Amino acid sequence: MHLSDGTPVQTPKQEGDRNVEFTKFMRTYQNMVFSTAARLSGNDAQAEDIAQEVFLRAHRRFDELRDNPRAAGWLKTVATNLTFTHLTRYRKRWVFFSQLQSADEGENDPVLDFADDASVVEEVRADERHEYVEAALRELPEHQRLPLVLFHFEDLPYEEIAQKLRISLPKVKTDIHRARQALAAILARHGITAEQLEA
Amino acid sequence: MTHPQQPAPDERALEQLIGSVLRQQPLRRAPATLEARVLRELAVRAAHPWWQLGFSHWPRAARILCLPVGMALVPLSFLITSRLLSLWQSVQQSTPANAAQSGWRWLENLGQALQALGNVVTREIPQWWVYGGACAALLMYAALFGLGAAAFRTLFVTSEPVRYPS
């Protein structure tokens, strides 16, 4: 997405109006930006930092973004890229210390039978279920959460995910599959059944 | 083993289920502090002149100008270095050799002292002490590395506990 980088000179009144408009703009998109960063990073504090940086960049280009129908896409792309930058900064350490265990992780997970869980009687309300799902996403290891979020929330194809994460296509598919299994297992552990999920 | 191109029925059901669950997820609510943080940071940045901010915040003209200035600095630094070298050489030639050499005398003495120490170590200390000491140092380094890894995993990897609604 091409957006030029102009910084026009403005009077204080114009600057004040601009800030009011920018605040409205921020209120429109802040949940989307924060959600993208939070789901990818799995950390709310980091997501807030990333969202702040996204809006600071948006402010510099606000004259082009304010009436641009592609503003949401631009913000989402910047949020995704900044999250990747943030995660890659720690990736080498992270891979060394955290993913040593991930090679065989999930191999011994029991296969879930979604149709066979009638023992749970407590009905979980929809908003609570949403919170459970978000918490379960945060609980996933990074190498599973990232491709899962990119596939299901960002609608990226496997090939693009592999390219973005610099991993092989089979690994992307395996990680996403294991992420789904892990997510379902976490939710089942907290009493959420397939029927409730589909409801 | 399931072929990745042809997912098993269970796998497809799981994909559809998780896909539909995640699609139904509403956007997360941004923290109430985010807006204030952004506005405060904008005010702080507005109070600073552009050249005190990061390079990416500089006006485009200034950023573009940096390229020729940077390129000009390379030959300039070579020029200054060569001038300084020639100046140094002329100073050396104009002063007595003894005075110039006295500045290096301490370095020579240090080298001789180290050599003497090395001779004492190799002559007086048994070889296996030296090898044993090296092995012990390596082991201690590995132990320290392991402790660092354990501390990292304990303090940072699980830094944000997952909270479920009560």
Q: Which of A197, A186, A180, A185 is nearest to A123 (CA)?
A: A197
Both tokens of B145, joined, read 């590395």
What pLDDT sits at residue B136?
A: 95
Report the distance separating Cα A86 and Cα A100, nearest Å: 21
pTM: 0.60
Report pLDDT for A36: 95
Q: Which of A180, A187, A190 to mutate to test the interface with B (most CBs of B within 10 A)?
A: A180
What tokens were used for B78? 């070579």
Task: State the Cα–Cα distance between residues B22 and A143, nearest whole angstrom.
Answer: 18
- The yes/no answer to whether this complex scores an ipTM above 0.95 is no
Give the C-alpha separation, B46 to B125, whole Å. 67
CB-nearest partner of A131 from B41, B57, B165: B165
The SS3 call for residue B112 is: helix
Q: Measured between alpha carbons, how far is B98 from B112 in angstroms, rounded to an integer? A: 20
pLDDT under 70: residue ranges of chain A: 1-15, 90-124, 193-199
**What span, in angstroms and rounded, lies between the C-alpha atoms of B34 and A23?**
11
Q: Are A142 and A87 in contact (CB under 8 A)?
A: yes
> Which residue in the set B11, B17, B57 is minimally distant from A197, CB to CB?
B17
Decide if B76 contacts B65 (C-beta within 8 A): no
Q: Which two tokens stand for residue B37?
A: 């943080």
What was the pLDDT predicted at A108? 42
Amino acid letter, B78: F
Q: What is the pLDDT of residues A5-31, one digit of tens each?
A: 444 445 656 667 788 899 999 999 999
Helix or strand run (H / E) with residue B42: helix B33-47
- All domains in chain A, ordered by first residue: 12-89 (1.10.1740.10), 112-198 (1.10.10.10)
The Cα–Cα gap between A72 and A79 comes to 10
- Chain B residues near residue A138 by CB distance under 8 angstroms: 160, 162
Nearest CA in chain B to A172: B4
- Residue ranges, chain B, pLDDT below 70: 1-9, 94-103, 156-166
Cβ distance A44 to B157 less than 8 Å, yes or no, reads no
pLDDT single digits (tens) B32-72: 999 999 999 998 888 888 888 777 778 888 888 888 898 88
pLDDT at B156: 67
To 5 degrees, how large is the angle CA A151–CA A154–CA A158?
30
d(Cα B69, Cα B118) in Å, to the nearest integer? 51
How high is the pLDDT of residue A37?
A: 95
